[in-house]
Structure 1
Amino acid sequence: MIKKYNVTGIGNALVDIEFTVLDSFLADFGIEKGLMTLVDEERQTTLMKEINKATAKMQCGGSAANTVIALSQFGGNAYYCCKVGDDELGRFFMEDLQEAGVSNNLLADRLEAGITGKCLVMVTDDAERTMNTFLGITQNFSVQEVNEAAIKDSSYLYIEGYLIPSPNGKEAMLHAKKVAESNGTKVALTFSDPAMVKYFGPAFDDVIGPSVDLLFANEEEAMLFTKKSSLSEAREELKKSARHFVITQGKNGAMVFDGDTFIDIEPYATKAIDTNGAGDMFAGAFLYGITNGHSYASSAKLASMASSKVVSQFGPRLKWHEAKEILNRLHP
């Protein structure tokens, strides 16, 4: 059966405001480098007053949103379930998502009163990204925003790990996974951030259940989740949780388990300027590949090239022509 969408994603809808900072900025404001930290609106407003407006770049985002947009840029069909408020940023998010070619559950005349979430993405000179996030109305993302019809008509459901701290978010994750499994849709999950695994590991156990079809993790997340001290031990342990998985390794490339063997994916040489969105881009390109007839190895090569390109520039997205050039280079 041919399905309409390659992937339906669920996750937090955030307007990303990305800007460059010095390490001293993080130190002055007591911000933990390299992690995503949830903050209240007052804290975010304080930081907004201090940012370098000249470097700021705004676009619709959130982890899963970045992933389905990446998939769309490579030529895939994606749907996104999310929640924004009836405000200026909410309408901006909806329009930006539509321009990116991603179908979604947002209707201009049915947006709920509330404040759309924002993520301040602070990029330091070493290309590390640090995020302070005010969830706003997306913290109320629930089963109600899950489009069951879209999941049924998708090859994959993609679940964002950042939903895990919220009880209603976790309920939505479980519900969406059940819908997928009942209708022949494969389930992919990303841990999203080491902090999510560190503080909500048991909740991830609940969502994963016996197993998921595909898991995305970086090295730190893989070892935190499995409670192993080496990557070789962690990857063996992950076989109990996922039928297939990808472990991204930054400048060292990635490791893919295709269900039978481990495949090492070489990195592409690049000068990293901004690592924000690298994992999201990898997931989007990889999902595009495996839902369009490419092998796990070939899909991972595409994903590695795409993520190496995105870290060489400011922002979590490629330009449309860049995605097409990468695709043509690997699959002429």
Structure 2
Amino acid sequence: MTSQYDVLGLGNAIVDVISMVDDDLLAREKLAKGGMMLIDEARTESLYKQMGSTSIISGGSAANTIVGAASFGAKTAFIGKVKADETGKAFAHDIRAIGVEFTTKPAQDGPATARCLILVTPDGERTMNTFLGACQNLGPDDVDADLVRASAITYLEGYLWDPPAAKQAFVRASEIAHAAGRRVALTLSDQFCVDRYRAEFLDLIRSKTIDILFANQHELKSLYETSDFDSAVAALRNEDILGAVTVSEKGSLVVTRGETLAVPAYPIQKLVDTTGAGDLYAAGFLAGLSRDQDLKTCAQLGALAASEVIQHVGARPQRSLAAMASENGLGV
């Protein structure tokens, strides 16, 4: 079946504010290293004042994935809610400039466009503090049915499962996609997100609301409430969906009912910032999958994209991922 778009993302439209910090700041502010915490506007301003020098980049997990897929040459689109403020305009400009279709109507009132304060420690680990703002108002009416039908794969961001209206948007998008013979993917996003919505995420899998699941090893173990990774993988295999599980520097596993493929990570020169590693892995995987590449190649494309993004600050590629794929014999 032909499609106008390869990958459509639904997620939080966020502007990332990134700063290199020491571990003392995390301890002082009682922040769980490597996690993502939802904060209010007052807490956002308080933390921002302690961050020192910052880099400001349009972000959001699914948006990063869609931008990464576009860098591979995939035809992409994004649905996410911003406010009609300067931050919202910056987000829209950035994502459109990369070639991503973004037509979601901005909010005229209500909370400001979302920001994610990303604290990067010397070991490259990132701790995220997110003010969702206007993101929380994404709802089913924002789901463009024609856009979903025109997209080979619709990709849903687990972080967006917090607001009730966004859950309705997810289900609506999935129903439209499946009615059109398309596939739907979900990323679990964060271990703490899984802790909050474990039963609901499992229901999305078992009700066949989704066809493809992205997770890292910690999220998968949390999903199945086990400390044993092999047991978690076995449980995922029994779900009879396509799973792509990242295992940090060890690479990733592609899990289906019939097989489990282990695909190594690409070597890097220096780890700088792990922000966006999972997002960009999904970008490569989905870019390949939407172009009918085999599962091993999809995982290799994901690993290649992740290797690029962790060697610099920021969650979006600074090199053409299509060019990198070509250099490594991985045509998309």
- What TM-score do you get using the length of structure 2 for normalisation? 0.95
Match of 1:208 in 2: 205
1:112 to 108, 114, 119: 108
Separation in 2 of the partners of 1:134 and 1:239? 35
C-alpha deviation, 1:77, in angstroms: 0.6
C-alpha deviation, 1:258, in angstroms: 4.4
Contact 1:120 1:133 in 2 (8 A): yes
Moved more, 12-21 or 321-330: 321-330
Question: Residue by residue, what CA displacement relative to the aligned partner does 1:225-282 show, whole Å, maximum 9, x if unpaired?
Answer: 1123322211121134352111100111111124521111112222211000000000
Contact 1:11 1:160 in 2 (8 A): yes
- 2:200 maps to 1:224: no
Contact 1:215 1:242 in 2 (8 A): no
C-alpha deviation, 1:324, in angstroms: 1.7
Contact 1:282 1:306 in 2 (8 A): yes
1:135 to 127, 132, 136: 132
Match of 2:6 in 1: 6
Alignment of 1:296-307 (within 5 A): 296-307=295-306
Contact 2:72 2:321 in 1 (8 A): no
- What's the % identity of the aligned pairs? 34
Contact 1:60 1:93 in 2 (8 A): yes
Alignment of 1:49-88 (within 5 A): 49-53=49-53, 56-88=54-86
Match of 2:160 in 1: 163
- 2:181 maps to 1:181: no
C-alpha deviation, 1:99, in angstroms: 0.8
Contact 1:9 1:64 in 2 (8 A): yes
C-alpha deviation, 1:112, in angstroms: 2.3
Match of 1:309 in 2: 308
Structure 2, unpaired ranges of 5+: none
Contact 1:306 1:323 in 2 (8 A): no
2:252 to 251, 254, 257: 254
Distance change in 2, residues 1:120/1:93 (3 Å) = same
Q: Look up the SS of the partner of 1:284 in the other structure.
A: helix
Q: Look up the SS of the partner of 1:159 in the other structure.
A: strand
Matching residue's letter, 1:138: C
Matching residue's letter, 2:207: P
Matching residue's letter, 2:253: M
C-alpha deviation, 1:293, in angstroms: 2.9
Structure 1, unpaired ranges of 5+: none
Moved more, 258-267 or 126-135: 258-267
Matching residue's letter, 2:302: A
Match of 1:152 in 2: 149
Separation in 1 of the partners of 2:154 and 2:77? 10
Q: Which runs of 4+ in 1 moved over 6 A?
A: none
C-alpha deviation, 1:7, in angstroms: 0.9
Distance change in 2, residues 1:272/1:140 (3 Å) = same
Contact 1:116 1:137 in 2 (8 A): yes
C-alpha deviation, 1:111, in angstroms: 4.3
Matching residue's letter, 1:139: Q
Match of 2:30 in 1: 30
Separation in 2 of the partners of 1:132 and 1:242? 34
Q: Look up the SS of the partner of 2:49 in the other structure.
A: helix
- 2:288 maps to 1:289: yes
Contact 1:164 1:203 in 2 (8 A): no
C-alpha deviation, 1:166, in angstroms: 1.5
Matching residue's letter, 1:193: D
Contact 2:265 2:307 in 1 (8 A): yes
Question: Residue by residue, what CA displacement relative to the aligned partner does 1:45-104 show, whole Å, maximum 9, x if unpaired?
Answer: 011112112xx2112111100000000011001110110001110000000010111101
C-alpha deviation, 1:164, in angstroms: 1.3
Question: Residue by residue, what CA displacement relative to the aligned partner does 1:112-161 show, whole Å, maximum 9, x if unpaired?
Answer: 22410000011000100000000001111111111111111111010100
Give the superposed CA RMSD.
1.5
Matching residue's letter, 1:43: R
Matching residue's letter, 1:26: L
Matching residue's letter, 1:126: D
Matching residue's letter, 2:301: L
Matching residue's letter, 1:325: M
Contact 2:104 2:142 in 1 (8 A): no
Count of aligned pairs: 328
C-alpha deviation, 1:319, in angstroms: 1.9
